[in-house]
Amino acid sequence: MKRLVVVMSMTLVMGAAVWATQAQRTTREPEAASATVKGAVDKGARWLASVQGTDGGWGQDGGGASSNRAGERLESSGNDVANTAVAALALLQAGRQFEPNVERAVAFILQRIEASPAHGLAITDRQGTQIQRKLGPYIDTFLSSMLMSRMDGRASTPALNARIRQALQKTVAKIEKHQQSDGSWNAAGGWAPVLGTSMASRSLFEARGRGVAVNEAVLQRAENYTVSALSAPAAPTSAAASTARAGVAGGLASAEAAGVPLYQGAQALEQLSRTAKDRVQNARQISAIQGQLASATFVSGYGSIGGEEFFSYLNISDSMKRIGGDASSKWHTDITQKILAFQNSDGTWAGHHCITGRVAMTSAAILNLTVDRAR
């Protein structure tokens, strides 16, 4: 009997040791993954901060001529509002050590918003930038409005907070006033303006969350547009778009999404999943889009990586975070690994088509990798 007790005790000890080893291994794996992500984010954010212009802004490849890649063809020179806004959004999520950089960027943008006329959707007279040509000419307004929402109440002084709130109210009024009759903001060009529509609608939703008065009818029209666009028959706009493009919810993507289902599906998933009520009401469409996430063709977007893919991934990541569950965990794991694989040795990300600029690409990558920190 004594021998049996000894054997059983030894078995329990050995079992506990095995369990402890497995538990340590299981714990180390997420910790190692988290450390890898943190390192990538820090490196990318430090690069962004290092190339911020003396005026507080950023352009396509950096904030000054010295930061531009040798031989890189820039579609515009000088610093612009949209690149500055997305860089500031990324640094805001990257860590408190970048707060001075963010406030310098906010000052750059506030000057443009405050100087812009009350009428019209534009907040800048700089036109033809790479990000405008791809997402629409008013992407500066939409991204700036998002930044103002996230900075609302967080600035270092009461005076700056007051300016931010006034700028937010001004951009909200502009966006509301210039919604298209179909509920979108797909106006005046852009290769994939549905992504601009996504940022416009998101900016209003975030402003409402900060207590700014937002016309509910405007948000409802954006949702109606989204549901209608998912079911409307459409043809791809180019031979590239027609090659191996699986449709969203069984159809082809619209011309406003450049014929790329990823862009349209990501916009729709974000728009239709914002609240618990939305997720119940739009369960069928959400399920159909989630089903596409298992398709490598769908996730590849245009077929190579550009800013449009990274902004679409961000829409999906934010949506899946709301939805939760195993599918959400799988998406975040897979897309994190995909994004990390594209980081350059200097900490940047650069696109291979359309939006190729390092500022927009690096910023969008950071926003994806830090989606769990989003306010």
Identify whether 178 is part of a domain.
Answer: yes
Q: In this structure, what token pair is assigned to residue 293?
A: 């996430």
* Angle (deg, nearest 10), helices 158-177 and 99-115: 50
Beta bridge partners of 58: 80
pLDDT in tens, the chain (375 residues): 445 444 444 444 444 444 444 444 444 445 556 899 999 999 999 999 999 999 999 999 888 776 777 677 777 778 999 999 999 999 999 999 999 999 999 999 999 999 999 999 999 999 999 999 999 999 999 999 999 999 999 999 999 999 999 999 999 999 999 999 999 999 877 889 999 999 999 999 999 999 999 999 999 999 999 999 988 765 444 444 444 344 444 445 788 888 999 999 999 999 999 999 999 999 999 999 999 999 999 999 999 999 999 999 999 999 999 999 999 999 999 999 999 999 999 999 999 999 999 999 999 999 999 998 876
Q: How many domains does the chain have?
A: 1
| Confidence (pLDDT) at 52 | 98
Measured CA to CA, the distance from residue 294 to residue 214 in angstroms comes to 36
Domain carrying residue 243: 41-373
Helix (H, G, I), strand (E, B) or coil at 80: strand
Kindly state whether residue 316 falls inside one of the protein's structural domains. yes
Interatomic CA distance for residues 56 and 63, integer angstroms: 8
What's the pLDDT at 262? Answer: 96
- CATH number, domain of 140, equals 1.50.10.20
* Residue 280 domain-assigned (yes or no): yes
Query: Residues near 54 by Cβ (< 8 Å), separated by ≥ 6?
Result: 63, 64
Instruction: Tell me the C-alpha distance between 251 and 181, whole Å.
Output: 23
- Enter the DSSP assignment of 63: S
- Is 12 domain-assigned? no
Q: Is 283 part of any domain?
A: yes
Quick check: is 25 in a domain? no
Do the domain assignments include residue 360?
Answer: yes
Q: How far is CA 25 from CA 11, 31, 36, 50, 184, in A?
A: 21, 10, 16, 37, 49
DSSP string across 89-157:
HHHHHH-GGGHHHHHHHHHHHHHHHHHS-SSSS-S-S----HHHHHH-TTHHHHHHHHHHHHHTTTSSS
Dist CA 340 CA 41 (whole Å): 9
Which pLDDT value is given to residue 186?
92
Q: Is residue 85 part of a domain?
A: yes
- Please give the model's pTM, rounded to 2 decimal places: 0.87
Output DSSP code: residue 184.
-
For residue 209, what are the CA distances in angstroms to 61, 179, 201?
A: 32, 20, 13
Rounded to 10°, the helix 193-209/307-323 angle is 40
- Give me the pLDDT at residue 4, please: 42
Q: Is 249 left (phi over 0), alpha (psi -120 to 50) or beta?
A: left
